[in-house]
Structure 1
């Protein structure tokens, strides 16, 4: 089946081809997942800016099944081999789905909005086992496995404690944009060839197509001779789709995914660490880190992000606590403190019952100059009292 996109691109035709050409010139190990409209001068786009925090209508699984299109591929021998493989390890599928729980409904909705085959929303199963923090030995990161050089070229920044490759919304939009653009410009709307190029690089796929044509053979994905990983790429994707489409027939029990949001946005007006926020929320810091995978330094700064995601049941309490500087929680003994706007070394020392000299000595400071976003070690009170 060939998909023909009806998307109206914001780039000019020449600009789109130039972008694809630039990426195809990179190493095949770079996953080409650019955002065609992104430039280094544009404002950073964060996954929480667009995250739909309202309950989505209907059931996530039914919604996904309604959008699956490649049913005929499940009869291909290569797909059947992977169906058998996954059926022999049903726990793997369930484990990945549990990891996908916060993001699956949103990604499914984005794929649906574009009119793409629902199978596209399952690509993170193959790429990263749906782990936003996944990193390959080659240096790729995130759900869609962007390489650093690719991310830099595509305007997905890595700075100030923020890695856009781990930004679920930014990376998803980039991947879907490129898959569509590449299919439209090079493969006459053939999404399967575009996915093969996403995995192996366009140069590898195009050489395989030319070789097939020279042999008088079809040049669609299923007839090409490609590297082993790419030969298995779409079979894996279709096998997972088949199991999700009819889990009972494949001996798999899918966990329910609640459409209601498990998190809410909390605006950030001053730098704050996730450990401080966890203290306020009464939740584990690892839970907040899981909801905010792009915050690589464990802190949020309004210079980089506007909001963080928190468990929805703690939303009101956290908003109340963060509404005034006086309500900011003090770090525990021996903890770290993220300097806020308007803080002074003496005020921080007084807040924690220690001397300025002790705070300077503990952090190797020569004077009293500090800046917002700076991390200070707070000495244990018993040590400070000596």
Structure 2
């Protein structure tokens, strides 16, 4: 099985040595726009990129249409996990509710690549669909990327941005890496690639060599691997079997529409999430939950490519971001409204200014500011707009 994506071909340039022993996958960083890019803000949602003739409907029906490994449900290990999940239906529902903002979008990405639908459920096993999940070993995000693998794939983790926590970036990178490993090591065998995703390619390759030396099959289901990896695909296949026929397994799945839940706003200038939520009438917690990769609550074009906003607020957000800020009383200044948690240093960093410039512009003798206060920001510091 061969998959052709532009991103996979780009990842082929990554050193296989750097990826060989990785424990988990990594994500691409959200590259900054070209310095000559237009200053006009724009928004897109995932249907803009849809390459299939498909009308929005039910997420679970669409996923069922793409499941390809249902014959594995008879395996004893899969049956064990089916019984486990059946015995904890409330836990299954809780995890699926957490997946609500992302499930339809991930489905679409998996489908456009021609991958088995089961792969859309990997975050169920990896992180319980929690984009902020962190393991004791250092993995983070929906797809549980280890720092080393993320670094090898160009994942940015600086200036208030962590691509491992960015659902858009991490999903694309996870699918890229799964495809890359399948082709590089396993002649397109995605099950072996998923085992390597969990245990590292080195561990899986050594297990295959040992099995071959014993004259045994070298597919995933016959290998001797670490216990966690031995259970990895059975867990994935078990939850897929339940979703394929929830009624037969005594689980009532929450309904999730197969429709856009978020829009992507291009970051052409610094964006403060708290301020954006206030002026656009959004719930700040909801906006932050859609953007877990923005670890300091703001996006800068040097590190983040997009900000996600609830689809129902798309028009209000775009109207705010494209409207010029009112001029301040000082010459050559624009205004910024202080939100909870702001400091002069964070505001200066957000706008490419300095604390001293903001003090001078506003006649401040110290660093004390308060929520709702309007500050004049020197216009030259907003040149990124």
- Fold-level similarity (TM above 0.5): yes
Structure 1 residues 266-275 or 234-243, which shifts more?
266-275
CA contact (8 A) 1:59 1:259 kept: yes
CA distance in structure 1 between the aligned counterparts of 2:140 and 2:266, rounded to whole angstroms: 27
Say if 2:35 is the partner of 1:22. no
Deviation (angstroms), 1:252:
1.0
- Which runs of structure 2 are paired with 1:161-172 in the superposition (5 Å)? 161-172=160-171
Say if 2:2 is the partner of 1:5. yes
Deviation (angstroms), 1:9:
6.7
CA distance in structure 1 between the aligned counterparts of 2:313 and 2:77, rounded to whole angstroms: 47
CA distance in structure 2 between the aligned counterparts of 1:39 and 1:96, rounded to whole angstroms: 27
CA distance in structure 2 between the aligned counterparts of 1:302 and 1:39, rounded to whole angstroms: 9
SS of residue in 2 equivalent to 1:122: helix
CA contact (8 A) 2:56 2:257 kept: no
CA contact (8 A) 1:5 1:184 kept: yes
Deviation (angstroms), 1:214:
2.3
What is the CA deviation profile of residues 100-137 of structure 1, one whole-angstrom value per residue up to 9, with x for unaligned ones?
A: 11111111111111111110111111111111111111
Say if 2:100 is the partner of 1:101. yes
Structure 1: segments with no counterpart, 5+ residues: 350-354, 363-367, 374-386
What is the CA deviation profile of residues 167-223 of structure 1, one whole-angstrom value per residue up to 9, with x for unaligned ones?
A: 222222222122112212321221111111111111111111122222222111111
Structure 2 residue aligned with 1:380: none
Change beyond 3 A, Cα 1:129–1:345: same
Change beyond 3 A, Cα 1:62–1:369: closer
Structure 2 residue aligned with 1:378: none
How many residue pairs were aligned? 351
Q: CA RMSD, aligned part only?
A: 3.6
Change beyond 3 A, Cα 1:209–1:9: farther
CA distance in structure 2 between the aligned counterparts of 1:183 and 1:213, rounded to whole angstroms: 19
CA distance in structure 2 between the aligned counterparts of 1:17 and 1:317, rounded to whole angstroms: 41
What is the CA deviation profile of residues 210-252 of structure 1, one whole-angstrom value per residue up to 9, with x for unaligned ones?
A: 2222222211111111101000000000000001111111111
TM-score between the two structures when normalised by the length of structure 2 = 0.79
Structure 1 residues 67-76 or 140-149, which shifts more?
140-149
CA contact (8 A) 1:56 1:105 kept: no
CA distance in structure 2 between the aligned counterparts of 1:280 and 1:265, rounded to whole angstroms: 18
Structure 2: segments with no counterpart, 5+ residues: 35-41, 49-53, 328-334, 371-375
CA contact (8 A) 2:161 2:295 kept: yes
Say if 2:209 is the partner of 1:219. no
Q: Which fold has the larger relative contact order, with Cα–Cα distance below 8 Å and residues 6 or more apart in sequence?
A: 2
Change beyond 3 A, Cα 1:12–1:97: closer
Change beyond 3 A, Cα 1:259–1:345: same
TM-score between the two structures when normalised by the length of structure 1 = 0.79
Structure 2 residue aligned with 1:60: 59
CA distance in structure 2 between the aligned counterparts of 1:253 and 1:89, rounded to whole angstroms: 12
Say if 2:364 is the partner of 1:356. yes
Deviation (angstroms), 1:314:
3.2
SS of residue in 1 equivalent to 2:145: coil
| Residue among 319, 330, 334 paired with 2:337 | 330
